[in-house]
């Protein structure tokens, strides 16, 4: 089956349909290590539930329009999710790229919430402040990123993908904070709206590679996990997991 072309929502403008999937569950999710204050760009693998989740979302995607390509963060938890999706959907065009990685959390990576507060109170404070709209340029000490830096690298890469796949559907596998920034890009400036991004959730964007216009059509969709017993530990990406 060849990739299905996607019609523009209105008018003559052509869009790329970008289906962004959060990776499956890891052991860090189940142990409640602060994953946005925790794994960040550390590189754990999927656990068994995560692999089951990836297989379920892959089968869901296989019943929809075939993607022209799959793009993924090169971190193991995302890359493995992407490879499962690619295999089930029969897609050979799979590209791993560090531009889709999770936010770099500096000294806070690998720490639980309480440990982060105790061990690096000033760093934790900087992270907390950076969530305020006016302080989005605040970098996390220890080589970490600011929210604006995360936003720039993820949005720029998706714009590039959209330019290469006008009128097609693509699947992108990434991480909680990264996906939240993609969602935020569709909001008005300084918006404080927060989206829940569960493991293997579908987040669907229409992106124009010509005008740069973004439309968020769906966010946090995990209907494929309902009723199969693999959703219990699928944390929602609210600052407690990535």
Active site residue 194: no
The confidence score (pLDDT) of residue 40 equals 67
The confidence score (pLDDT) of residue 123 equals 86
CA–CA separation, 173 and 186 (whole Å) = 18
How is the chain split into domains, by residue range? 16-225
Higher pLDDT, 183 or 111: 183
Architecture of domain 16-225: 3-Layer(aba) Sandwich (3.40)
Q: Given the residues 14, 17, 23, 168, select the one marked as catalytic.
A: 23
pTM of the model: 0.86
Q: What percent of the chain has pLDDT over 70?
A: 78
User: What pLDDT digit, counting tens, does each position of 214-237 carry?
Assistant: 999 999 999 999 877 666 454 444
The confidence score (pLDDT) of residue 115 equals 84
Q: What is the mean pLDDT of residues 170-180?
A: 96
Tell me if 164 is assigned to a ligand binding site.
no
Spatial contact of 163 and 209, defined as CB atoms under 8 Å apart: yes
H helices of the chain, in order, are 27-31, 48-62, 76-89, 113-119, 121-130, 147-164, 176-184
CA–CA separation, 18 and 69 (whole Å) = 10
Active site residue 102: yes
Q: Given the residues 80, 102, 145, 181, select the one marked as catalytic.
A: 102
């Amino acid at each position: 089956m060849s990739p299905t072309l996607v019609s523009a929502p209105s008018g003559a403008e052509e869009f790329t349909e970008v289906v962004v999937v959060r990776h499956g569950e890891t052991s860090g999710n189940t142990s409640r290590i602060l994953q946005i204050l925790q794994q960040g760009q550390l590189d754990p693998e999927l656990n068994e539930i995560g692999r089951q989740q990836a297989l379920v979302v892959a089968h869901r995607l296989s019943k929809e329009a075939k993607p022209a390509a799959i793009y993924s963060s090169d971190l193991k938890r995302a890359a493995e999710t992407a490879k499962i999706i690619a295999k089930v959907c029969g897609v050979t065009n799979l590209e791993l790229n560090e531009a889709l990685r999770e936010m770099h959390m500096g000294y806070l990576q690998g720490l639980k919430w309480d440990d982060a507060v105790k061990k690096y109170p000033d760093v934790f404070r900087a992270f907390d402040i950076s969530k305020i709209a006016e302080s989005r340029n605040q970098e996390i000490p220890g080589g970490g990123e600011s929210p604006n830096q995360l936003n720039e690298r993820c949005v720029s890469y998706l714009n590039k993908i959209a330019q290469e796949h006008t009128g097609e559907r693509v699947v992108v596998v990434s991480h909680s904070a990264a996906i939240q920034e993609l969602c935020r890009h569709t909001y008005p400036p300084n918006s404080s709206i927060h989206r829940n991004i569960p493991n293997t959730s579908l987040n669907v964007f229409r992106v124009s590679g010509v005008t740069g216009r973004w439309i968020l059509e769906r966010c946090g969709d995990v209907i494929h996990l309902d009723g199969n017993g693999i959703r219990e530990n699928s944390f929602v990406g609210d600052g407690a997991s990535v």
